[in-house]
Amino acid sequence: MDTNTKAKILSIISKVTGRNINNINFETDLKSQLELDSIQIVELFAVLEKEFNIELPLSMLTVKTGTSFLSILNEQLNKRY
CATH of the domain at 48: 1.10.1200.10
Average pLDDT of span 42-71: 83
Domains of the chain: total: 1
Torsion of Cα atoms, 27 then 31 then 34 then 37, to 10°: 150
Is residue 6 within 8 Å of residue 26, measured between CB atoms? yes
Closest CA to 56 of 9, 21, 14, 4: 9
**pTM of the full structure:** 0.79
Q: What digits encode the pLDDT tens for the residues 37-55?
A: 888 888 888 998 899 888 8
Is residue 76 within 8 Å of residue 55, measured between CB atoms? yes
In this model, does residue 80 exceed pLDDT 70? no
Domain coverage including residue 66: 3-79
Q: 10 Å Cβ neighbour count for 17?
A: 20
